[in-house]
């Protein structure tokens, strides 16, 4: 089942936002939906706002999500995930796992950090809910 993401493509930046109510347990579905959106919009910079996602992934699930991100999302794009502190901290484990497998990603709690890393204005990474 595909998750209906909010999508905005402006210039060379694709911004995606997870809709309210998506559960952390739907991480694999979310990654497949991201893959589809990125195939439809070949922008080299991608911001993914997962803050509306409900729930927290276990350590094992974060490991598996990092593997899946690296396996399913293109490595030739810069992908910044914007998440809540509870989703990311203490160790940004999903980011570490994905990077170790060749993905070019950042996981952060800050839209400003995501924008700076992507090299785009912060307005491009934030989509209204």
Q: Which tens digits make up the pLDDT trace of 68-104?
A: 999 999 999 999 999 998 888 778 899 999 999 999 9
Task: Encode pLDDT of 103-115 as tens digits.
Answer: 999 999 999 999 9
Q: Residue 98: CB partners within 8 Å, gap ≥ 6?
A: 66, 67, 69, 70, 105
Task: Encode pLDDT of 42-78 as tens digits.
Answer: 999 999 999 999 998 888 989 999 999 999 999 999 9
**Domain 6-124: top CATH class:** alpha beta
Where exactly are the structural domains of the chain? 6-124
Q: What is the mean pLDDT of the chain?
A: 92
């Amino acid at each position: 089942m595909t998750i209906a993401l909010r999508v905005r493509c402006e210039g060379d930046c694709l911004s995606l936002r997870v809709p309210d109510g998506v559960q952390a347990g739907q991480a694999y579905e979310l990654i497949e939906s991201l893959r589809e959106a990125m195939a439809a919009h070949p922008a080299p910079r991608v911001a993914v706002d997962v803050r509306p996602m409900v729930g927290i992934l276990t350590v094992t699930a974060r490991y598996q999500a990092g593997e899946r991100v690296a396996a399913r999302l293109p490595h030739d794009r810069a992908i910044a995930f914007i998440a809540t502190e509870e989703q990311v901290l203490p160790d940004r484990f999903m980011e570490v796992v994905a990077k170790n497998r060749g993905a070019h990603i950042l996981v952060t709690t800050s839209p400003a950090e995501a924008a700076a890393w992507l090299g785009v204005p912060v307005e491009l990474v934030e989509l209204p809910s």
